[in-house]
Structure 1
């Protein structure tokens, strides 16, 4: 296998590969659409999302033997396990704690001149009797949180394995960092604060846009996940915006400068979505962005340290092999050093 792709070394693609891939991807898309309309989008359960993505890689590389496809399970198992633990354990993060809310409300109110951003946005944009076009966009952007990082990781796994490793390490660290914070600082989102009268009434509307395009099951599945697995006091930090920024920031060094403003649209759209729909405060978003910066700094430093360590160990091993082969030096009478290995033949003394 090459170092930067998933293609086996020394093999050529079989005849008709493009046709096989087109058929496989078409079958996968058809199955995914039918499943989504019948049962909802298969994204809130990491294991289910993993199986669909695994099927996608199989459809793309159906000419590979089964043992080749099993490597996906080997490579992805730790990450899927963490996602599952994250989804389940964060629901217990509020046990025994009183959630923080007043200081979050105070910050957002101070930052926006006395207005709570979620309240202001819903007063101006939300119509309880009609689903607007921007509600559909909000639901799509909110849903992308469950798939964007996974899709990017799968594409990297298929095409650039070292980059996949770099991405996964950052994603893993950011998720773990956020989960620890949920336990140390349980914080309530705007919809929770409104429910208990801490701010003016608002609605939790992150999934209502699906109704306008007929994907009722998608909204139902996301709502069930919110009720069953989500932690009502896991607002700080916003990993929704953190994941969005992680995906974008990972590609900053790889794209031309003129494309960076376009990439920034995604985390900004996620920010609007979460604040408007009542899922997060502005302060949650800002802290999530800070966590992304910390993640890149810490993981980047760790990777550099690990590379230097490997280089030192490789140099030490090479030196040890040289000594084992008898490649030691001796000093000539004039003070110069010469190789005294087993193949060295001393110069004849002058006559």
Structure 2
């Protein structure tokens, strides 16, 4: 039997999550993500070179779906305008909504799902840092792309710079295109809906949401097809790393707890045994106050029923009536 003071930290029960600790954590991670995107602005010429290299590679493999989709969205406002709203809003609405739904309805699965999402997001931030990429909409007009967000900006709150509100375009990193976390986050939402939705409607939404998002990011000229594929790959890598992140977080919590609130020393086995096991002297004579009784001896005014199951003879019983006292004598 392992000693209590040598138990491994991994065997500790998980702490129950509370919304007042989860909300600041999620806001902090999102703030770090947004600040990281802003601080790692890539060089414009480098970003353009990366974008053109991706476009040439796609054309060599006949993967260039961006041009026909972008022409369709530009020519048909009834498709282009809803697509712009989709790109500018659902990324920031659906993901938090599913996080809240998981927290309230599937608390056991929530921590692993949240860790997967956060791990993948930070991996995406590394991608923005190492590979700044110019999206199709910012390439020269000769490359055949139209920025639908700018074309239909009068219908929404965004301006001509990405999906940022008018006047705030300078606060975004427009070269954070590789990987596409619009696609990555929508894929995470789809997996959560498929696994925990439980109805046919949620399963349809689980497939439709990431699929439509992939079409939207290419049709609005915000991402290349390879950006979308990289977003899916980042989510896959995050899924593999999430268990490792959780284990390290558990170890860190145990380490911090042990130093902030050290546990009281555990009594030795011998001392515990001496407390729990009475000695033979204690069995031979039981002292109650200043009256000593021998084993099996009854105290006057004691009923037979006072010795219940497991009661020791000689223990102090409750008071009894006169009739029981006479019987005891």
TM-score range, shorter chain: 0.5 to 0.7
1:268 to 211, 219, 242: 211
**Given the alignment of the two structures, is residue 248 of structure 1 paired with residue 190 of structure 2, yes or no?**
yes
Alignment of 1:19-168 (within 5 A): 72=20, 74-96=21-43, 98-99=46-47, 100-112=50-62, 116-127=64-75, 132-142=77-87, 143-168=89-114
- Counterpart-to-counterpart distance in 1, 2:152 and 2:158: 10
CA deviation after TM superposition for structure 1 residue 287, in Å: 0.8
How many correspondences in the alignment? 256
Does the aligned pair in 1 maintain the 2:85–2:156 contact within 8 Å? no
- Counterpart-to-counterpart distance in 1, 2:208 and 2:159: 24
Alignment of 1:185-264 (within 5 A): 185-195=131-141, 197=142, 200-206=143-149, 216-217=156-157, 222-224=164-166, 227-256=169-198, 260-264=203-207
C-alpha offsets along residues 283-339 of structure 1, whole Å, 9 cap, x if unaligned?
01111101101111111343357669999x99xx99x84745745xxxxxxxxxxxx
In structure 1, stretches of 5+ residues that fail to align are: 7-70, 328-339
Larger Rg: 2
- Counterpart-to-counterpart distance in 2, 1:235 and 1:140: 18
- Counterpart-to-counterpart distance in 2, 1:175 and 1:96: 22
- Counterpart-to-counterpart distance in 2, 1:271 and 1:225: 27
Does the aligned pair in 2 maintain the 1:181–1:237 contact within 8 Å? yes
Does the aligned pair in 2 maintain the 1:139–1:207 contact within 8 Å? no
C-alpha offsets along residues 131-154 of structure 1, whole Å, 9 cap, x if unaligned?
632223312321201221122223
In structure 2, stretches of 5+ residues that fail to align are: 1-14, 281-329
- Counterpart-to-counterpart distance in 1, 2:164 and 2:204: 30
CA deviation after TM superposition for structure 1 residue 241, in Å: 0.5
Partner of 2:284: none
CA deviation after TM superposition for structure 1 residue 257, in Å: 8.9
- Counterpart-to-counterpart distance in 1, 2:104 and 2:91: 21
- Counterpart-to-counterpart distance in 1, 2:114 and 2:167: 24
- Counterpart-to-counterpart distance in 1, 2:114 and 2:164: 25
CA deviation after TM superposition for structure 1 residue 254, in Å: 2.4
CA deviation after TM superposition for structure 1 residue 192, in Å: 1.9
TM superposition score normalised by structure 1: 0.59
- Counterpart-to-counterpart distance in 2, 1:262 and 1:78: 28
Change (3 A) 1:80 1:267: same
Does the aligned pair in 2 maintain the 1:187–1:236 contact within 8 Å? yes
SS of the counterpart of 1:231?
A: coil
- Counterpart-to-counterpart distance in 1, 2:66 and 2:247: 42
- Counterpart-to-counterpart distance in 2, 1:151 and 1:207: 28
- Counterpart-to-counterpart distance in 1, 2:115 and 2:191: 14
Does the aligned pair in 2 maintain the 1:145–1:243 contact within 8 Å? yes
C-alpha offsets along residues 211-244 of structure 1, whole Å, 9 cap, x if unaligned?
5xxx543668735377222222211100110111
TM superposition score normalised by structure 2: 0.63
Change (3 A) 1:85 1:225: farther
**Given the alignment of the two structures, is residue 297 of structure 1 paired with residue 240 of structure 2, yes or no?**
yes
CA deviation after TM superposition for structure 1 residue 280, in Å: 0.2
- Counterpart-to-counterpart distance in 2, 1:75 and 1:310: 15
